Amino acid sequence: MTPDILSFRRALVLVATMTAFVLLINASSQIYDSNFVFLWEATSLLSGDRPYRDFFEWGAPLSAYLSAGAQLLVGYRLIGEFLLHWVFIVAGVTLSFDLGVRLSRSIGASLAVMPMVWLILATTPTYHYSKLFVFPAAVWLAWNHIERPRVVSGAALGAATALAFLFRHDYVLYVGWISILALAVGWWSRGPANGFGRSGREAMACAAVALVCVAPWAVAVARTEGLAEYTRLRAAKYEGTSSVFLSMQMLNPLRVVKPAAPPTPQPAVIGFFWQPDISEQRQHDIEQQLGLRRLDERDSVGRLQYAVNNLYDVKLLSLDPYILDGNGFVWERLTELRARLPSRDDILLWLEQVTLLVPLMILVWAAVDAVGGVARAGTVSADSWRMILVSAFLIVIDYALLRERSYFVIVAPLTMAIGARFLAAHPEGTRGALGARLGYARRVTALVLLLLTTYAAGVWARLTPMFNPSGLPARLKDAGVALVSSPPATHEPRYLHLRACTSPGDHILITGLTPFDISYYAERPVAGGHLYWHSRWGADPASEQRSLALLRRQSVPFAVSVTPDRVLEDLEAYPRVHDYIAANYREVEGSNGMLLVDTRRRPTGTYGDSALPCFR
């Protein structure tokens, strides 16, 4: 039975609105370095640098240009990037819900899984926006094609494949896979002998549109960096597949409700500043109560250092209202122990396992349904083909992309939405008493798993702003300032220094683990062609030579590392670049090798209390 169209549209609006609301109230927790991953390229584009000539885009050209376009629209404000993320995420979650309703034929069942999706979404880094949109969009187009195979729907699959490739090159493997499956199903549904001509035209339309969409990019690369060199360098950027499905051997729902076991007591050193209004006598009393032993030396930041007998003593949580800038604490683990919650590792394992289990079970259901359809009517139903396509698609993605457990978030909305099928009543319930009992058992089992997984998602998301309503107004206000300020607002002194002490046309050599935000906040493009020095990307002789040529040509007053790794340590895999920087740059005193300055320049002044060199 098809859901009422008016109710369905209202449900779509509800899902889109709630998704936007979840993204908005958790915005303050999303303003961190990894979510700037496309903005360093956007900054280079906006400064006049061109990919393949002045910097090496790493394999997501459309994402970089969309980020640059968003900045042009809003006037170099962070809100542009986050609006871009949010629009695509809202669209992707809404599409996932639509697919769930189409597969389950139940608005109620599909709405029942959405709280779990929103809880997971609250913890999902928004830079995953392209995955959260592209994957459900590909399934949506593939289903449309198998339901009504046409040249237009084939062309739409080609456009989707090309745009997926431009969003991030490896997406072509997954979207291309489901496009080929959809074209094959369209051909088979007509009958292999009768559908060859029309299906051939649909396949040709798919290929032609894909080639037309990709051609401008391919021509630009061929004329500059060269397609062969481009492919060689970018192929190294993508990690290999993993044995993610082996985690299914540890499937155990009891992990979700079992409190975390207290770890073995561990002596440690912690550091913090006392709140200004805490008197010395009060400090001494707290030290006595908690067994804190003050050490003679402060740390490098100036925090008081204390020895504790057990880092996992939940009494340490009582320190939180009295201190500032705590270091060395394991606050999350202490919270788990006090609340007798499951460990985050167990929760994450369960969420990953459910994400893997749903497409496997959908595929089994599809296979049984297809065999039954052939036995009864000599054909496979459209419903079975839909399940086969989406489950095969998700299994491939899970195998290829879920290299870390936390990556389950990239397919969670789509996976959980199609899982709504297990909650809904289906025709097998009308085929005798056995079918009715099986249908009832399936729905009860699915409901139990839904409740367990929703609880797990809540535990996983408990540290997000939406779980702290009293602090939400202040968090929203801070997020608003950070998002709409121009120039972009930051409390990081290093970024303010780089912005204030360089001139338009200058570049900055940036190293470190996740240094994506430096270029954007400093409003200066990257030097040397990229910022992936820490991961040794482009360390082969040919790529290193191009980076060195850029460094010699560009104006680069500073080299900076965002993490404690020293700049020259990150450059050790690039011997010629390392030698060039070592010969022409010196460490700024007190920076511990994290800030180097060009010795061939004469500073025009100093910046801040530390008297950092300035060239503007």
Averaged pLDDT, 601-614: 91
Residue 262 gets which letter from DSSP? P
Q: pLDDT tens, 171-184? A: 999 999 999 999 99
Domain 268-339 belongs to what topology? Alpha-Beta Plaits (3.30.70)
Averaged pLDDT, 230-251: 80
pLDDT of residue 399: 92
Report whether pLDDT(428) > 60.
no
Report whether pLDDT(429) > 50.
no
Of 222-226, 248-252, 302-306, 591-595, least confident by mean pLDDT is 248-252
Averaged pLDDT, 344-369: 93
Distance from C-alpha of 63 to C-alpha of 51, rounded to nearest angstrom: 13
pLDDT band at 358 (very low <50, low <70, confident <90, very high): very high
pLDDT of residue 553: 96
DSSP 150-171: -HHHHHHHHHHHHHHHHH-TTH
Q: What percent of the chain has pLDDT over 90?
A: 70
Q: Which has more pLDDT, 339 or 165?
A: 165
* Domain positions in the chain: 5-242+345-460, 268-339, 493-614
Rg of the chain over all Cα atoms, to the nearest angstrom: 28
Q: Which has more pLDDT, 186 or 378?
A: 186
Of 243-247, 259-263, 370-374, 427-431, least confident by mean pLDDT is 427-431
Average pLDDT, the chain: 91
Report whether pLDDT(436) > 80.
no
Q: pLDDT tens, 523-552? A: 999 999 999 999 999 999 999 999 999 999
pLDDT of residue 90: 98
C-alpha dihedral, 351 to 356 to 359 to 361, nearest 10°: -90
Does residue 528 sit in helix, strand or coil? coil
pLDDT band at 1 (very low <50, low <70, confident <90, very high): very low
Peptide bond into 487 cis (omega under 30): yes
Residues whose CB falls within 8 Å of the CB of residue 42, separated by 6 or more in sequence, listed in order: 64, 65, 67, 68, 70, 71, 81, 520
Model-level pTM greater than 0.85?
Answer: yes
Contact (Cβ atoms closer than 8 angstroms) between residue 488 and residue 76 = yes
Report whether pLDDT(2) > 60.
no
Averaged pLDDT, 13-19: 97
Distance from C-alpha of 449 to C-alpha of 447, rounded to nearest angstrom: 5
pLDDT of residue 302: 82
Q: pLDDT tens, 448-502? A: 999 999 999 999 999 899 998 988 999 999 999 999 998 888 878 888 999 999 9
The two three-digit tokens of residue 104, written as one number:
């389950």
Distance from C-alpha of 369 to C-alpha of 391, rounded to nearest angstrom: 14
Report whether pLDDT(430) > 60.
no
Distance from C-alpha of 451 to C-alpha of 113, rounded to nearest angstrom: 9
Averaged pLDDT, 390-408: 93
Q: Which has more pLDDT, 453 or 433?
A: 453
